[in-house]
Amino acid sequence: MLRTITKVVLFTVGVIAMISNVAFGQQTNEQAFEIIESANDSIDLRSNFYDVTDSLSDYFPANELYESWDNDGIYYPKVDFSNKKDTTIIVLCDNKTNFYVQPVKGRINSEYGFRHRRFHYGIDLDLDIGDSVKCAFDGMVRVSRYHKGYGNVIVVRHFNGLETVYGHLSGSRVHENQLVKAGQLLGYGGSTGRSTGPHLHFEVRYLGTPMNPHKVVDFDKFKLLNDTLYITNKTFEKKNTKPTYSKTTSTVKSSTSGTTTVKSSTSGTTASKSTGNYHYVKKGDTLGGIAGKYGTSVSSLCKLNGLTAKSILQIGQKVRVR
Ligand SMILES: [Zn+2]
């Protein structure tokens, strides 16, 4: 089984390498372009990209897919996948050594897709400043630096071929070229760069091209959607695709699972349960109104947020409700 997958991956590597070379053709010189184009065998193709005597080529994660390794580029040159005809299979979890860890277990503040006329290439996950941000898969830190948009940002290239991006951090606990494990502490949540409040900007990319993280992760369960990711030309569609898992399904599942049933059925309004731990102040909101909506009290809201009963709320202000 694994051998078959390896074969498929090797084959697709070859095809993608050819596609990507066409895309980069304008940047490379004519001669290099000819050499690659004449190589039909994926193995030969690989040896054209890499010097096999170079020990570094064995060292960097997914070196057979990527042509280079650098510590500067947050944006890796994008490959045009619109003409991709085949399917690339990526094993995300094999129940042995490869697995996924949710970087931050927070609700989604902002989805992948068009936002204020710009495209938002990641998912924003709610957190508090100082919360641990963990690495999604095994890999190596490619970028760890400050960027005026992303703030303190970490980019990790994984052995499975994907890259993940962690933005707006308050601090980093890793350095460039450091090998990291799934679940390892990368840094702390923050609001650095172009950010309106504490959150993690989380991107999933393949060969530098972002995809909707919903294609990989079930953000209700904080687990992989599937152990295997099938990459086609549709993987990179810039649509606000609705996740394939529905909120109602997961609610039904959690309510049927043992002891939690009692707890959730006795806790006030179920509607507020799904909105997470925070309320964003809207026009006309009062502390009393918010307390009523979430089945809590004004005094506990004040305690949680360092407010007094007379505090004036600002529209858009984030109020912790539990
Ligand atoms: Zn974001």
Residues 188 and 127 in one domain: yes
| pLDDT at site 277 | 72
The token pair at 9 is: 């991956």
Instruction: For residue 212, report the phi and psi dihedrals to the nearest 5 degrees.
Output: -65, 120
What's 283's domain CATH number?
A: 3.10.350.10
Residues 129 and 195 in one domain: yes
In a domain, 258, yes or no: no
In a domain, 32, yes or no: yes
Residues 189 and 293 in one domain: no
Residues 17 and 61 in one domain: yes
Asked which of 205, 229, 247 is the last residue of a domain, the reply is: 247
Per the structure, the count of domains in the chain is: 3
Alpha-carbon dihedral sign for residues 11, 16, 19, 21: negative
Task: With both helix axes pointing from N to C terminus, report the angle between 42-49 and 2-24 in degrees, rounded to the nearest 10.
Answer: 50
Asked which of 69, 97, 128 is the last residue of a domain, the reply is: 69
Residue by residue, what is the 3-state secondary structure of 44-83? HHHHHHCCCCCCHHHHCCCCCCCCCCCCCCCCCCCCCCCC
Per-residue pLDDT of the chain (322 residues; tens, 9 = 90+): 444 444 444 444 444 444 443 333 333 333 332 222 222 333 333 333 444 445 554 578 998 888 789 999 998 777 889 999 999 999 999 878 899 999 999 999 999 998 878 899 999 999 999 999 999 999 999 999 999 999 999 999 999 999 999 999 999 999 999 999 999 999 999 999 999 999 999 999 999 999 999 999 999 999 999 999 999 999 998 876 555 554 433 333 333 333 222 233 333 333 333 345 776 666 677 778 777 776 777 777 777 777 777 777 765 567 777 7
CA of 124 to the centre of ligand 1 (A): 5
126 has which bridge partners? 199
CA of 134 to the centre of ligand 1 (A): 17
Helix (H, G, I), strand (E, B) or coil at 211: strand
Residues 146 and 207 in one domain: yes
| pLDDT at site 240 | 67
Residues 238 and 288 in one domain: no
CA of 41 to the centre of ligand 1 (A): 40
In a domain, 129, yes or no: yes
Residue by residue, what is the 3-state secondary structure of 160-172? CCEEEEEEEECEE
CA of 223 to the centre of ligand 1 (A): 20
Q: What amino acid is encoded at 251 in this protein?
A: T
Q: What amino acid is encoded at 19 in this protein?
A: I
In a domain, 233, yes or no: yes
Buried b (16+ CB within 10 A) or exposed e, 247-260: eeeeeeeeeeeeee
In a domain, 187, yes or no: yes
Whether 77 contacts 84, CB under 8 Å: no
CA of 175 to the centre of ligand 1 (A): 22
CA of 64 to the centre of ligand 1 (A): 29
| pLDDT at site 296 | 77
Residue 55 is part of which domain span? 2-69
CA of 272 to the centre of ligand 1 (A): 24
CA 15/CA 11 separation, integer angstroms? 7
| pLDDT at site 298 | 78
CA of 56 to the centre of ligand 1 (A): 33
In a domain, 290, yes or no: yes
CA 169/CA 172 separation, integer angstroms? 7
Task: With both helix axes pointing from N to C terminus, report the angle between 42-49 and 30-38 in degrees, rounded to the nearest 10.
Answer: 150
CA 76/CA 121 separation, integer angstroms? 13
The token pair at 183 is: 């679940």
Task: Please give the span between the terminal C-alpha atoms of the chain, in angstroms, as a whole number.
Answer: 47
| pLDDT at site 319 | 73
CA of 171 to the centre of ligand 1 (A): 17
In a domain, 82, yes or no: no
CA of 127 to the centre of ligand 1 (A): 13
Q: How far is CA 248 from the centre of its chain?
A: 23
Residues 154 and 45 in one domain: no
CA 124/CA 126 separation, integer angstroms? 7
CA of 107 to the centre of ligand 1 (A): 13
| Strands 118-120 and 88-91, sheet pairing | unpaired
CA of 133 to the centre of ligand 1 (A): 15
What's 172's domain CATH number?
A: 2.70.70.10
Residues 313 and 196 in one domain: no
CA of 256 to the centre of ligand 1 (A): 34
Nearest C-alpha neighbor of 137 from the set 172, 111, 108, 165: 165
CA 237/CA 278 separation, integer angstroms? 31
Q: What amino acid is encoded at 173 in this protein?
A: R
In a domain, 126, yes or no: yes
CA 216/CA 202 separation, integer angstroms? 12
Residues 156 and 210 in one domain: yes
